[in-house]
Amino acid sequence: MVIESRDRSEGWRHAKLDGHTNEKLFAEFLVRDDEFITEIRTHLLEISPRGEPEISVDGAKHVDSIFGDKTTSKVDLALNWSSGEQINISLKKSNSGQVWLISLPRFLSAIEFHLDREIDLEVKIGLSLFIGGSNLVNYESYFDQALKLDKKKNPEFVDLEIHQSRLVSQSIGVNFPSVWDTTLDFFNSNIGLITKLSFSQGLAKSETDAANVIVYNRAPSGESIFSISRIIQKAELQIASHPVTAGPRNGGSTLQLPTGFLQMHHPQGDNLLQFHHQHKKISKL
């Protein structure tokens, strides 16, 4: 059905109900929805531009990275007004899911690039043990020592650790408490940057290639449009009272974050960091 056959106020609601996967069509529904445009103008732009913005679809666009190679932009849709205002949208087609998948070496290098300093060795050890795989190459003695104890005291998750070639948080915390405390402190101290990279910038070199808005296409209820800068601010505030902790299952195989969680993911090849977004958490920040 063509867009013009619908009332302007129907576009956003219809797009959510139908769950369009065509981002161009979805964007056209968005810019024809008065409520959506009012939200953008009122809360996300310093001035209120007139007229409807032009749409560009940037999904899977490759841009320059901070490492000198190419990386995939987190911008799915860009709305551009004739007066020069632009909103870069990251479109979430489900209420939870992957928001950033990255290898441990590139993650650590990205953090060091933005902080302009080297990350503490204990953090590197803690994350290497938690993510595992080839990241254990310099820390195999830690891994073997922990497994030996886990076989005696924590047999309920030692099979998982062997199968996934990594340690869960409970094992790291018991065997190497200073390492794990420092690792958790790293996440708490840098949650703003980690949230920004996960949702907005990734490894993109230029801020113009970063998303500044999240739009949930199929949010069950409540807010569907979120400013990423506000998500970052609220995540930093939440850490003061609710610091990063390990998840309750499997000896702590995840890290619970203000916006979702982090887990080890092994798609094909090596173990990677997989950051997840969760609408239910973000909407409560």
Asked whether residue 199 is assigned to any structural domain, the reply reads no
Q: Mean of the pLDDT values across residues 1-16?
A: 38
**Same-domain check for residues 149 and 250:** yes
Is this model's pTM higher than 0.75 or not? yes
Residue 50 backbone class (left: φ over 0; alpha: ψ -120 to 50; beta: rest): beta
**Same-domain check for residues 18 and 143:** no
Q: Mean of the pLDDT values across residues 145-167?
A: 92
pLDDT tens digit sequence for 157-187: 899 999 999 999 999 999 999 999 999 999 9
**Same-domain check for residues 82 and 168:** no
pLDDT tens digit sequence for 122-134: 999 999 999 999 9
Asked whether residue 42 is assigned to any structural domain, the reply reads yes
- pLDDT value of position 194: 98
pLDDT tens digit sequence for 25-59: 776 676 667 677 677 766 666 656 666 777 777 66
Asked whether residue 105 is assigned to any structural domain, the reply reads yes
**Same-domain check for residues 91 and 105:** no
**Same-domain check for residues 150 and 269:** yes
Q: What is the 3-state secondary structure (H, E, C) of the chain?
A: CCHHHCCHHHHHHHHHHHCCCCHHHHHHHHHCCHHHHHHHHHHCCCCCCCCCCEEEECCCCEEEECCCCEEECCCCEEEECCCCCEEEEEEECCCEEEEEEECHHHHHHHHHHHHCCCCCHHHHHHHHHHHCHHHHCCCHHHHHHHHHHHHHHCHHHHHHHHHHCCCCHHHHHHHCHHHHHHHHHHHHHCHHHHHHHHHHHCCECCHHHCCCEEEECCCCCCCCEEEHHHHHHHHHHHHHHCCCEECCCCCCCEEEECCEEEEEECCCCCCEEEEEEEHHHHCCC
- pLDDT value of position 220: 63
Q: Do the strands 213-216 and 86-92 form a parallel or antiparallel pair, or are they unpaired?
A: parallel
Residue 225 pLDDT grade (very low, low, confident, very high; cuts 50, 70, 90) = confident
Q: Mean of the pLDDT values across residues 102-128?
A: 98
Q: Mean of the pLDDT values across residues 190-215?
A: 95
- pLDDT value of position 3: 31
pLDDT reading at 85 higher than 70: yes
- pLDDT value of position 155: 86
**Same-domain check for residues 90 and 227:** yes
pLDDT reading at 278 higher than 50: yes
Please tell me the distance from the alpha carbon of residue 188 to that of residue 241, in angstroms, as a whole number.
11
Please tell me the distance from the alpha carbon of residue 117 to that of residue 3, in angstroms, as a whole number.
51
- pLDDT value of position 156: 86
pLDDT reading at 16 higher than 50: no
Asked whether residue 202 is assigned to any structural domain, the reply reads no
**Same-domain check for residues 70 and 138:** no
Burial class (CB in 10 A: 0-12, 13-18, 19+), 158: buried
The chain-wide mean pLDDT, for the chain, equals: 86
Please give the torsion angle defined by the CA atoms of residues 112, 239, 274 and 270, in that order, rounded to the nearest 10 degrees. Answer: 50
**Same-domain check for residues 11 and 91:** yes
pLDDT reading at 267 higher than 50: yes
pLDDT tens digit sequence for 251-261: 999 999 999 99
Report percent pLDDT > 70 for the chain.
Answer: 82
Residue 143 pLDDT grade (very low, low, confident, very high; cuts 50, 70, 90) = very high
Give the other-Cβ count within 10 Å of 107's Cβ. Answer: 20
| Structural domain boundaries, residue 64 | 3-95+210-238
Q: How many residues does the chain have?
A: 285
- pLDDT value of position 19: 39
- pLDDT value of position 221: 63
**Same-domain check for residues 87 and 10:** yes
pLDDT reading at 74 higher than 90: yes
Contacts of 123 (CB under 8 A, 6+ apart): 182, 183, 186
**Same-domain check for residues 138 and 66:** no
Asked whether residue 204 is assigned to any structural domain, the reply reads no
Residue 7 pLDDT grade (very low, low, confident, very high; cuts 50, 70, 90) = very low
Our count of domains for the chain comes to 2
Asked whether residue 136 is assigned to any structural domain, the reply reads yes
Asked whether residue 21 is assigned to any structural domain, the reply reads yes
**Same-domain check for residues 139 and 264:** yes
- Which of 9-23, 65-79, 214-228: highest mean pLDDT? 65-79
**Same-domain check for residues 148 and 263:** yes
Asked whether residue 197 is assigned to any structural domain, the reply reads no
